[in-house]
Chains A and B, each alone.
Chain A
């Protein structure tokens, strides 16, 4: 399955930084932090959608993947969490692949970015 790129953290982080410059409250957050520690409990082809819902909760969104004609299409369940305090941005993203009613894999990553501003002299 192909992987997706997400840039939501940048929205939150740059907004927070610049809002901080202007004196406004800096914390920006949306979504729910995905519980990636539970992924190890899932077994491809066996874990069902209902089990995933119980374990991870409702996804923030959905999608689909059909990366090549040699592979069957998969549904995607999309979880994310973005938070920024004006200096750093935290991003947690989880994609769960579903083959019909069964878990068929995942991709997740968590990152922290720090921002710098450069001023004109």
Chain B
């Protein structure tokens, strides 16, 4: 997977401007894109949805990995999604990990967040069709 893409300038500009102009402790940053965790049980189906379905519904992941946890009989592929916002005195974020079974199907997830509750994220699909082509 190619992760080398262009970034949006807004949060970088904000934090640099704060650092260089307003003083070294006035730094506000924001990064990533808040994933919509409500789709994990509604639009994605364990043992049915494919990697392409996950990419279509959640968007491309920003990280990849693997896991062979104590109850796994074999390694599992893993994708990660991330959003963070904060200052140098407080920082809040959400992390979502999505897991794929040996045959490449969506198997499950784990997420945790310290962000305040937000309005539902913008849906990335036009309809709740987990088999919509990429």
A and B pair up: yes
Residues on A close to B: CB < 8 A? 1-6, 8, 11-12, 15, 19, 22-25, 28-30, 60-69, 71, 73, 76, 78, 80, 82, 95
Residues on B close to A: CB < 8 A? 19, 23-25, 27, 29, 37, 40-41, 46-47, 65, 67, 69, 78, 80, 84, 86, 88-93, 95, 97, 99, 101, 107-115
Question: Are the C-beta atoms of A61 and B37 separated by less than 8 Å?
Answer: no
CB distance from A14 to the nearest CB of B (A): 11
Question: Are the C-beta atoms of B108 and A67 separated by less than 8 Å?
Answer: yes
Interfacial chain A residues near B89, Cβ < 8 Å: 28-30
Question: Are the C-beta atoms of B47 and A69 separated by less than 8 Å?
Answer: yes
Q: Mostly helix, strand, loop or mixed at chain A's interface? A: mixed
- Partner pick for A4 among B86, B88, B91, B112, CB 8 A cutoff: B112
Interfacial chain A residues near B65, Cβ < 8 Å: 5
- Partner pick for A28 among B84, B88, B101, B115, CB 8 A cutoff: B88
Interfacial chain A residues near B93, Cβ < 8 Å: 8
- Partner pick for A80 among B67, B97, B114, CB 8 A cutoff: B114
Q: Mostly helix, strand, loop or mixed at chain B's interface? A: strand
Interfacial chain A residues near B69, Cβ < 8 Å: 1-3, 67
- Partner pick for B112 among A8, A29, A78, CB 8 A cutoff: A78
Cα–Cα distance between A11 and B84 once the two chains are bound (Å): 11
- Partner pick for B91 among A30, A69, A78, CB 8 A cutoff: A30
Question: Are the C-beta atoms of B108 and A22 separated by less than 8 Å?
Answer: no
Interfacial chain A residues near B41, Cβ < 8 Å: 66, 73
Name the residue on B nearest A69 (C-beta): B46
Q: When A and B form their complex, which 5 residue pairs have the shortest distance between CB atoms, in order from nearest?
A: A24-B24, A63-B112, A61-B114, A67-B108, A69-B46
Q: Chain B CB within 10 Å — which of A24, A60, A66 has the most? A: A66
Interfacial chain B residues near A62, Cβ < 8 Å: 112-113
CB distance from B78 to the nearest CB of A (A): 7
CB distance from A31 to the nearest CB of B (A): 8
